[in-house]
Structure 1
Amino acid sequence: MFTEAADPDGEAVLYHCTAGKDRTGWASAALLTALGVPRSTVVRDYLASNRYLTAYNRQARAHLPDAVEDAYEPLLGVRKTYLAASFARVERDYGSFDHYLSSGLRLDSDDLAALRGELLVGEPDP
């Protein structure tokens, strides 16, 4: 996904998962972090899924038996702790997010520069 998004001759990139919050949420958080977006903004954007999924989750709950509705609650939304656990796992397994990009995703500095060039608008901060 990262290299496709960085391709200046490529098409638009569409990525998703079943509910659009778990794998997609992590992919978006990782992409924004790779672009240098502050963690507070990444978390805020991730948590926005709860707002956008409100109607869907209401419908999903309506079809659940009362006895299991509470058990499904953690599956229907996103929580700050979910994203924090993902970043903590990256830190534990790779030592840093940068090392995750280079060793885990096998992106080099040219890949990251191309990604930033394709997706960021404006002048970089000095």
Structure 2
Amino acid sequence: MAQEVLKSASQADDPEATSRAIETALAQIPSLSDLYISMLEHGASAFAETARRVAVSEGAVLVHCTAGKDRTGVAIALILEAVGVERAAIVDDYAASERNLAGPWTERMFGMLQAMGLPRTPALDDLVAATPPAAIITALEWVDAHHGGAAHYLRSGGLTDAELDALRRRLT
């Protein structure tokens, strides 16, 4: 999103237009809770496929994305919840990602955004490197309200009962 905004703004060759475009883009940054709910609304099949791969793999499984906190955090939270891990432990696991991200990778990401002309804001900081417990709690509460829990959500994305049983055997 940042690259598209800056590209179109720079083509205008108007510093004020560029500044307005950046402000508009920053105002459109979703909260992590909203981002996660959007992922859940549109990604049941992808989350089910992730759970399936964990369930049927013979060895170690690495689940990752760019930062390992958003798509990965939601996927792992769903998997853990589906196999019966206590929610408090899931939230603690998710929150640990922020500490694990701190350092060179996060600073590189912030440097890249600043090089694009984007100022650091609390919303960008959250998007890049934060894992506030409220974000994953909200996501899991959405799953509860709309699907009756993580197992039902993953089934809605195509995970079979046999695969869910295999996931439980593997992780418990």
TM-score class, shorter-chain normalisation, is 0.7 to 0.9
- 2:121 corresponds to 1:72: no
Runs of 4+ in structure 1 off by over 6 angstroms are none
Aligned pairs (5 A) from 1:1-126: 1-7=50-56, 10-55=58-103, 56-62=105-111, 64=114, 68-70=119-121, 71-76=123-128, 77-108=130-161, 110-120=162-172
TM-score of the two chains, using structure 1 as the length reference: 0.77
1:34 CA drift (Å): 1.4
For residues 80-111 of structure 1, give each alpha carbon's deviation from its aligned partner in whole angstroms, at most 9, with x where no partner exists: 12112211321233233332132234331x32
What is the CA deviation profile of residues 40-70 of structure 1, one whole-angstrom value per residue up to 9, with x for unaligned ones?
A: 0000000001100110323433552797112
CA contact (8 A) 2:64 2:72 kept: yes
Number of aligned residue pairs: give it. 118
Structure-2 separation of matches of 1:95 and 1:116:
18
TM-score by length of 2: 0.59
* Matched letter for residue 91 of structure 1: D
Residue 67 and residue 105 in structure 1: after superposition, are their counterparts in 2 closer, same or farther (change >3 A)?
same
Distance 1:105 1:89, change over 3 A: farther
Rg larger in structure: 2
Give the AA of the match of 2:90.
V
Moved more, 38-47 or 111-120: 111-120
**Counterpart amino acid of residue 102 in structure 1:** R
Stretches of structure 1 lacking an aligned partner (at least 5 in a row):
121-126
Greater fraction helix: 2
Residue 14 (structure 1) shift: 2.2
Kindly, what percent of the aligned residue pairs are identical? Answer: 36
Give the Cα–Cα distance (whole angstroms) in 2 for the partners of residues 118 and 96 of structure 1.
20
Q: Decide whether the 8 Å contact of 2:54 with 2:167 is kept in 1.
A: yes
